[in-house]
Amino acid sequence: MKHFTKLVRPYIIWAVVIILLPLLLIVLYSVTTGGNDLVNIQFTLDNFRRMTEPVYLAVFAKSFRLGLTAVGICLFAGYILAYFITFFSERTQSLLILLVTIPMWINTLLRTYAWICLLSDNGAVNTLLQMLGFQPVTMMYTDFAVLIGLVSDLLPFMVLPIHTSLCKIDHSLHEAAMDLGANKVQTFWRVTFKLSLPGVLNGIIMTFLLSISTFVIPKLLGGGQYMLIGNLIENQFISVGDWNFGSAISVILAFIILLAITGMKQFDQEEGEEE
Partner 1 sequence: MKKNPFKKGICLLLGTLLAACLLGGCGNSGKPVLKVYSWGEYLDTSLLSEFEKEYDCKVIYETFDSNESMYTKLQSGETYDILVPSDYMIERLIKEDRLQPIDWSLVPNAAGLDEAVMGEEFDPDNTYSVPFFYGSVGILYDTTVVDDADLSDGWELLRNPKYAEDIYMYDSERDSFMPALKALGYSMNTTNHEEIDQAYEWLIDQRDTMDPVYVGDDVMDNMISGNKALAVVYSGDAAYTMRENEDLAFFEPKEGTNIWQDAMVITSDCTEVELAHAYIDFMLEPEHAYANTVEVGYTSPVVEARTKAAEEDFAGIPAYLPSTLGDNNEVFRYQDQETKEYFSELWTKVKAAN
Partner 2 sequence: MKKKRKLGSGLYITLCFLFLYLPILVTMVYSFNSSKSLTKFESFSLRWYENLFSSGEIMHAVYVSITIALLATAISTVLGTLTAIGLSKTRRILKEAILNVNNIPIMNPDIVTAIGLMILFSSIKLEKGYFTMLLAHIALCTPYVITSVYPKVRNLDPNLANAAMDLGATPVQALTKVILPMIKEGIYAGVLLAFTMSFDDFVISYFVTGNGISNISIIVYNMTKRTNPTINALSTLVILVIVVTLVLVHLIPYLKRRREEGREKEIDSLLPKEEVE
| Site residues (CB under 8 A) for partner 1, limited to 155-174 | 167
> How many residues belong to the site for partner 2 (CB under 8 A)?
82
Is 209 a residue that touches partner 2 (CB under 8 A)? yes
| Subset of 219-238 contacting partner 2 (CB under 8 A) | 220, 230, 233-234, 237
Is 259 a residue that touches partner 2 (CB under 8 A)? no
Is 28 a residue that touches partner 1 (CB under 8 A)? no
What track of x and - describes contact with partner 2 for positions 69 through 108 (by CB under 8 A)?
A: --------x--xx--xx-xx------xx-xxxxxxxxxxx
Is 58 a residue that touches partner 2 (CB under 8 A)? no
Cβ–Cβ < 8 Å for 160, 101: yes
Is 39 a residue that touches partner 2 (CB under 8 A)? no
Quote the least distance from Cβ 230 to partner 1, whole Å. 13
Q: What are the φ and ψ backbone dihedral angles of 33, each rounded to 5 degrees?
A: -130, 175
Is 26 a residue that touches partner 2 (CB under 8 A)? yes
| Subset of 50-89 contacting partner 1 (CB under 8 A) | 55-56, 58-59, 62
235 Cβ contact list (under 8 Å, min separation 6): 246
Neighbours of 36 (CB within 10 A): 11
Residue 182 binding result from partner 2, partner 1, none, given CB thresholds of 5 to 8 Å by partner type = none
Nearer to partner 1 by C-beta: 107 or 239? 239
Is 111 a residue that touches partner 2 (CB under 8 A)? yes
Cβ–Cβ < 8 Å for 204, 71: yes
Nearest-angstrom CA–CA distance, 215 and 235: 10
Is 244 a residue that touches partner 1 (CB under 8 A)? no
Is 241 a residue that touches partner 1 (CB under 8 A)? yes
Partners of 33 in the β-ladder = 42
Segment contacting partner 2 (CB under 8 A): 22-30, 128-136, 167-175, 183-191? 22-30
Quote the least distance from Cβ 177 to partner 2, whole Å. 18
Look at residues 101, 84, 76 and name the one whose alpha carbon lies nearest to residue 160. 101
Instruction: Kindly tell me which residue out of 29, 79, 115, 141 binds partner 1, with binding defined by CB under 8 A.
Output: 141
Segment contacting partner 2 (CB under 8 A): 45-53, 171-179, 180-188, 209-217? 209-217
- Interaction site with partner 1 (CB under 8 A): 36, 55-56, 58-59, 62, 90-91, 94-95, 97-98, 116, 120-123, 138, 140-141, 167, 219-220, 223-225, 227, 232, 235, 237-242
